[in-house]
Chain A
Amino acid sequence: MGFLGRLLGRGEHSSGAVAKERLRLVLSHDRANISPALLDTLKDEIVTVISRHVPIDADGVEVTFSQNARETRLVADIPLSTRGGRYEK
């Protein structure tokens, strides 16, 4: 954001931009009928299930929504653990 943008309040912290970001999240939860708490539960259980089979980096797991028009998707980003690569047995 340039100096002018800041001067005009048009940056990412302007209340209009904040409103849009907050709405994006709220609408995702509303549409999917998934609360933030339920999303956390899903994430924890996904971590448990996957790590039973594959070593993963549990702290790096992110479960989020993605929107495409009025279609909502649940997206899980699961980094595999870097410890114990395939050349070490």
Chain B
Amino acid sequence: MAARVITVTSGKGGVGKTTMVANLGIALAVRGQRVVVIDADIGLRNLDVLLGLENRIVYDLVDVVEGRCRLRQAMVRDKRLSELFLLPAAQTRDKSAVQPEDMMRVCDSLRDQCDFVLVDSPAGIEQGFRYAVAPADEILIVTNPEVAAVRDADRIIGLVEAEEQGPTRLIINRIKPDMVRRGEMLDVPDVVELLAIDLIGIVPEDQDILVAANRGQPLAFSSDSSLAGRAFHNIARRLLGEDVPFLPLREPGVLERLFRFVRSEGD
């Protein structure tokens, strides 16, 4: 195996990076890929709770870096999906505990043990972002269709380009189709045109994301239940090289549903 190391980052906080990593990790593992998700947000650990693995942590990333345990000992295996592992962040330390070379070393030693390493980057452009991006073969930028998030995403793209890293692809998260329809939200083509990088995913706003976080049971576990869940799976499929069309974000109208119903009855 030669794992692909993919860092998920955004610049701005709160756009859905951690949710994205949790769901992409699951969607890839469901497809038989061996996946390690790394929480690189030292001091503000959250990937564990989103995945519902918070009670199983013994060691963390900083313990590995500082040699208090072996890498295997720090990895938490998800019992629901035997191919998914979490390398948690330390909660009582800060970003200065890890250097870019440390992350490169950790990721390099994972390369022959799995198919994908997904790194959940901290927000910001400081040390945490630097060490999260350092080991990346590919970068996924998560943004929301709002001015502050798009502006920060552009800054991140500039920094990544300056470091000559990438390829970099874009995920537009939390789009609200009804607001787009009313012209009260940036649309997907607007954001793609402004940022001028390739799009790999569009995820609609979905209340079930919060419910899933409440339970520690990410949406991607039940792929067909919601549009957002399907969107996560589609991104995973695109990462695996499948050509998957983007989901239509608009709910079909009454007439359209009636038409489809009549047509399917006729089959």
Given A16-B190, A19-B146, A19-B147: A27 touches B154 (CB 8 Å cut-off): yes
Q: B77 within 8 Å of A by Cβ?
A: no
Q: State whether B196 touches A69 (Cβ < 8 A).
A: yes
Q: B54 within 8 Å of A by Cβ?
A: no
**Smallest CB–CB gap between B146 and chain A, Å?**
7
The B contact surface, by secondary structure, is: helix
Q: State whether A16 touches B151 (Cβ < 8 A).
A: no
Q: Which of A14, A15, A16, A20 is B194 in contact with, Cβ under 8 Å? A: A20
Binds A, one of B84-92, B109-117, B129-137, B180-188: B180-188
Q: State whether B184 touches A26 (Cβ < 8 A).
A: no
Given A16-B180, A19-B147, A23-B147: A70 touches B186 (CB 8 Å cut-off): no
Of chain B, the residue at the smallest CB distance from A20 is: B190
Which chain A residues lie closer than 8 Å to B35 at the CB level?
none
Q: State whether A24 touches B151 (Cβ < 8 A).
A: no
Q: State whether B194 touches A8 (Cβ < 8 A).
A: no
Bound CA span A9–B194, Å = 22
Which chain B residues lie closer than 8 Å to A27 at the CB level?
150-151, 154, 194
Other contacts beyond A10-B183, A14-B184, A17-B183: 19, CB < 8 A: A8-B181, A9-B184, A14-B182, A14-B183, A16-B179, A16-B187, A20-B190, A20-B194, A23-B147, A23-B151, A27-B151, A27-B154, A27-B194, A30-B151, A30-B155, A31-B154, A69-B196, A70-B157, A70-B197
Which residues on B are within 8 Å of A, measured CB to CB? 146-147, 150-151, 154-155, 157-158, 161, 179-187, 190, 194, 196-197
